[in-house]
Amino acid sequence: MKEVKQFFSSQIKSMCLLFTIVVGGILTLSSCSPPCGEANYLGTVEECEVTADTTSSGGGSGGSSGGSNLLTPEGLTDSSRLSVGGIKNGYVLDNGSVVTWGRGVYFPEDFYTVDNLTNARQISVFAMNNSSVVACAVKNDHTTVCWGNNRYGELGNGGPTGGSASCGNSSSATTAETACAVPIFDDNSAQGNINRVAVGYYFSLWLDNKGKVYSAGKCENGVLGTGCTDNQTTAVTVMTGVKDIKVHPRNQIACAHKIDNTLHCWGENNANEITSAHANDIETPLEIATNVAHFGVFGASHSTPKGTIGFVYDNGTISCTTGWFSLSSTTSTCQDEYSGITNVKQISGDRNVNMLVLDNGSTLAYGLNQYGTMAHGSGNSPQRNITAAGSIFADGTPANNVSYIAGGSFDSGMSHILGILDNGSVVGVGSNNYYQIVPTNRMSSTICAWQGAVAAITQDAQKCDRWAILPIGPSGW
């Protein structure tokens, strides 16, 4: 057999045509791409060619081992297209472009499409201030690319770190961000085999199709899950056998849902956010639950930043970890509030509110309704509450078509929740003090309600206690 390869390249894209001539006159034509090691920092990593790893299952030590694929990659879904972290939002359009708004180095005045990024199938974003702005995307070819601050190595590309280290941040309130950093993994088959990414406060996690989890960023509070002694500027293996990963939208807490439906978590635990069985932070993955069908990582008490982890077990029962709400000297748990509720599609929330999305599209919320994020129109009544009738839209009609939610968090409690409806519309509720719901140029076109008064949203005078339909959707804005 004789092979002839001819490569064509440009600054925009590298590509090739592979002609294979076989004895007998058979000619085949197929497309191929340069090796991953030749990818550049301009985001063209999506064109790299990766040979599938078919070796036997490896352990957590990294290297080139790792086993065959355990996960079947999904296309674009509600949970992959919407991300909220801190007070920053990301959204993947049907055409594979990515839009970001909310907190950045600058507060964007409008929705802006990330430059140098196409064919995305998942987005994860985070920002609490202008030094913690990070985002990563997974593309249709299972490669991953990131941008933002690299203060502690959270971009995972092995690049420079420090207070001013970054790439791709917007240069003004009227310019877009740019995908620019290609993460490096201790398993050389990971790039081109990525299933999911989750970014948090100074750290990032990736999950590949073999079920391996990797981390990069700041070695603090156990959040890297590797028992590290120093920051990790490239992605290091944490554990194997995983099918989903989530991180807290404010605190340094991460969890992995394994193939066997056990849940393992690590990170901050000084207030029993993960478990009351340990008094200190958890440095490596710790099994905290079994028979888990769905889980969420979110929440805080009103006075002390805490996180909580919500579980929906495979028998339909619900519980949460102990870092929860204590209001008016009365402690109530989510298992108390949600007793007898079944058909739960998702458990999530923001800083103060725990919210369920049910199979019928309604929601149930419990917690401290400080900024109206229960979405039931009661303003910010600061009492323990549950909305058995579900949330409502700005005009008072029931919101019985919610498909997915993603909650944010902020130190002062000025948090928000975004959601996707069955028809693909994007909705938001809560505070807009930091343009968490909509950017400046879109506020007048976003109708909101606060204790029944319906008006266009403003920056801080008008918070939303009902779902506001945002001027962005699958096809754009």
Indicate the range of 63-72, 370-379, 409-418, 446-455 predicted with least confidence: 63-72
pLDDT at 38: 32
Indicate the range of 41-55, 266-280, 346-360 predicted with least confidence: 41-55
Please answer whether residues 92 and 79 qualify as being in contact, where contact means their C-beta atoms are separated by less than 8 angstroms.
Answer: no
Structure tokens at 337: 């509030």
| 442 found inside a domain | yes
Tell me the average pLDDT of the chain: 84
Residue 335 — pLDDT band, cuts 50, 70, 90? Answer: confident
Residue 384 — pLDDT band, cuts 50, 70, 90? Answer: low
pLDDT at 109: 97
| 2 found inside a domain | no
d(CA 160, CA 75): 33
229 with 362, same domain: the answer is no
Please answer whether residues 236 and 62 qualify as being in contact, where contact means their C-beta atoms are separated by less than 8 angstroms.
Answer: yes
pLDDT at 442: 97
216 with 334, same domain: the answer is no
Residue range 272-297, pLDDT digits in tens: 889 888 889 999 999 999 999 999 99
310 with 427, same domain: the answer is yes
DSSP string, 164-175: T-EES--SSTTS
pLDDT at 79: 96
What mean pLDDT do residues 150-166 have? 97
Residue 378 — pLDDT band, cuts 50, 70, 90? Answer: confident
Q: What is the CATH number of the domain that holds 422?
A: 2.130.10.30
Length of the chain in residues, anyone? Answer: 477
pLDDT at 428: 98
Indicate the range of 44-53, 234-243, 270-279, 316-325 predicted with least confidence: 44-53
pLDDT at 27: 36
249 with 321, same domain: the answer is no
For residue 452, pLDDT over 80 is answered with yes
Residue range 2-14, pLDDT digits in tens: 333 222 233 333 3
Helix (H, G, I), strand (E, B) or coil at 252: coil
| 359 found inside a domain | yes
Residue range 389-412, pLDDT digits in tens: 689 999 999 999 999 999 998 877
158 with 223, same domain: the answer is yes
pLDDT at 60: 40
What mean pLDDT do residues 159-176 have? 96
CA atoms within 13 A on the CB side of 279: 0
- Strands 120-126 and 134-139, by their bridges, are antiparallel
What is the Cα Rg of the chain in Å?
22
Extended beta strands in 332-413, E state: 344-349, 353-358, 363-367, 385-386, 402-407
247 with 298, same domain: the answer is no
Query: Number of helices (H) and strands (E), helices first, in the chain?
Result: 2, 34
For 120, left (φ over 0), alpha (ψ -120 to 50), or beta? beta
Structure tokens at 460: 């801080």
Please answer whether residues 351 and 303 qualify as being in contact, where contact means their C-beta atoms are separated by less than 8 angstroms.
Answer: no
For residue 329, pLDDT over 80 is answered with no
| 5 found inside a domain | no
353 with 247, same domain: the answer is no
Domain count, the chain: 2
Question: How far from 231 is each of 124, 150, 212, 252, 284, CA to CA, in Å?
Answer: 21, 11, 20, 14, 15
pLDDT at 1: 33
Residue 20 — pLDDT band, cuts 50, 70, 90? Answer: very low
For residue 18, pLDDT over 70 is answered with no
More confident residue, 439 or 321: 439
| 49 found inside a domain | no
Domain ranges, residue 454: 287-472
pLDDT at 369: 81
255 with 291, same domain: the answer is no
187 with 254, same domain: the answer is yes
pLDDT at 352: 82
What mean pLDDT do residues 435-443 have? 96
| 229 found inside a domain | yes
> Closest Cα to residue 477, out of 433, 432, 441?
441
| 275 found inside a domain | no
Please answer whether residues 269 and 280 qualify as being in contact, where contact means their C-beta atoms are separated by less than 8 angstroms.
Answer: yes
| 150 found inside a domain | yes
pLDDT at 66: 47
Structure tokens at 29: 């034509």
Structure tokens at 73: 């990659």
pLDDT at 13: 32
Query: Interior CA angle at 438 toward 433 and 439, to 5°?
Result: 85
What mean pLDDT do residues 148-177 have? 97
Residue range 106-155, pLDDT digits in tens: 999 999 999 999 999 999 999 999 999 999 999 999 999 999 999 999 99
> Closest Cα to residue 150, out of 134, 126, 130?
134
For residue 74, pLDDT over 90 is answered with no
Indicate the range of 27-36, 192-201, 324-333 predicted with least confidence: 27-36
86 with 179, same domain: the answer is yes
pLDDT at 42: 31
363 with 417, same domain: the answer is yes
Element (H, E) at 216: strand 213-217
195 with 138, same domain: the answer is yes
